[in-house]
Structure 1
Amino acid sequence: MSARAPRRRLVRRLFLGQLMVILVGAGTLGAVAFLVAPPIFHDHIRRAVGPVSDVVAHHLDQALSETLLLALTIGILAAAAAATGVSWLLATRIALPVEELSRTADALAAGRLGERAPHPSAEDELADLTDAFNGMADVLEHTETTRRRLLADLAHELRTPLATIEAYHEGLADGVVEADADTVATLQDATGRLQRLVEDLSLVSSAEEGRLTYDLRPIELAELVGAAVDAVAPAARERGLHLETRTPGVPVIVEGDRDRLAQVLANLLRNALEHTSDDGSITASVTSTPDQAIVVISDTGVGIAPEHLPHVFERFFRADPSRRHVTGSGIGLTISRAIVQGHGGELTAHSDGPDTGASFTMRLPAATGP
Structure 2
Amino acid sequence: MTVGGRWSLAARLLAAIVVVVLAGSATAWAVASAIGPAVFHVHIERSGTSDPAVVRHSEEAFATASAYSLALALAAALTTSVVVSVFLTRRIAHSLDRVRQAAAQVADGDYTVRVPDVGMGAEFDDLARSFNTMAADLGRIEQTRTRLLGDLAHEMRTPVATLDGYLEGIQDGVVPADEETLGMLRDQVSRLARLAQDISLVTTAEEGRLTMDRRPVRVGTLVDAAVAQAAARYAARTISLGVAAPQDAGATVVSADVDRMGQVLTNLLDNALRYTPRGGHVVVRVAEEGGAVRIQVADDGEGIAAEHLPHVFERFYRADTARDRAHGGSGIGLAVTRSIVRAHGGEVTAASPGKGQGATFTVELPAADAA
State the TM bucket, normalised to the shorter chain. 0.7 to 0.9
Contact 1:229-1:245 at 8 Å conserved across structures: no
User: How far apart, in 2, do the equivalents of 1:278 and 1:89 lie?
Assistant: 78
Q: Which residue of 2 aligns with 1:23?
A: 22
Alpha-carbon contact 1:245-1:284 (below 8 Å) kept: yes
Mapped to 2, the partners of 1:89 and 1:59 lie a distance apart of: 45
Does the 8 A contact of 2:350 with 2:360 survive in 1? yes
**d(CA) in 1 for partners of 2:111 and 2:354?**
30
The CA distance in 2 between the partners of 1:161 and 1:302, in whole Å, is 27
Structure 1: tracts of 5 or more residues without a match: none
From 36, 39, 63, the counterpart of 1:65: 63
2:147 pairs with 133, 149, 153, which one?
149
Q: 1:49 to 1:216 in 2, by over 3 A?
A: closer
Cα 1:81–1:176 change in 2 (3 A) is same
- 1:302 is aligned to 304
Aligned residues of 1:304 and 1:357 also touching (Cα < 8 A): no
In the alignment, which residue of structure 2 is the partner of 1:334?
Answer: 335
Counterpart for residue 346 of structure 1: 346
The equivalent of 1:52 in structure 2 is: 51
Partner SS, residue 105 of structure 1: helix
Paired position in structure 2 for 1:266:
266
Give the aligned partner of residue 247 of structure 1: 244
Q: Deviations over 1:124-158 (max 9, x none)?
A: 33444444444444443333333332222222222
- 180-189 or 108-117: which moved more? 180-189
Which deviates more from structure 2 when the two are superposed, residues 9-18 or residues 108-117? 108-117
Give deviations 1:18-76, integer Å, cap 9, x for gaps. 1221122122222322332222223323332512353x445434432342233223422
Q: Which residue of 1 aligns with 2:96?
A: 98
CA RMSD of aligned residues (A): 4.1
Cα gap change, 1:43 to 1:219, in 2 (>3 Å): closer
Deviation at 1:213, TM superposition (A): 4.2
Distance 2:67 2:277 in 1: 95
* Aligned residue in 2 for 1:39: 38
Q: Distance in 1 between matches of 2:269 and 2:213?
A: 24
1:15 Cα offset (Å): 1.6
CA distance in 1, matches of 2:295, 2:5: 58
Q: Secondary structure at the match of 2:43?
A: helix
Structure 1 position 170 matched with structure 2 position 179:
no
* Corresponding letter in the other structure for 1:162: V
Is the contact made by 1:267 and 1:336 (CA closer than 8 Å) also made in structure 2?
Answer: yes
Pair 1:45–1:225, CA change in 2 (3 A)? same
2:204 and 2:55 map into 1 onto residues whose CA distance is 95
The TM-score, its normalising length taken from structure 2, stands at: 0.76
Aligned pair in 2 of structure 1 residues 11, 283: CA closer, same or farther (>3 Å)? farther
Provide the rounded CA distance (Å) in 2 between the counterparts of 1:215 and 1:36: 80
Q: 1:61 to 1:180 in 2, by over 3 A?
A: same
Is the deviation greater in 8-17 or in 156-165? 8-17
CA contact under 8 A between 2:268 and 2:334: conserved in structure 1? yes
CA shift in 2, pair 1:59/1:318, >3 Å = same
Matches within 5 A, 1:154-303: 154-180=152-178, 182-204=180-202, 209-213=209-213, 217-218=217-218, 220=220, 221=222, 223-224=224-225, 226-227=227-228, 230=231, 233=234, 245=242, 247-250=244-247, 252-253=250-251, 254=253, 260-272=260-272, 284-289=284-289, 291-298=291-298, 301-303=303-305
Q: Distance in 2 between matches of 1:216 and 1:174?
A: 57
**TM-superposed deviation, 1:7:** 10
Q: Name the CA distance, whole Å, in 2 between partners of 1:101 and 1:247.
A: 58
TM-score (norm 1): 0.76
In the alignment, structure 2 segments of 5+ residues that lack a partner are none
Aligned counterparts of 1:89 and 1:262: Cα–Cα separation in 2: 66
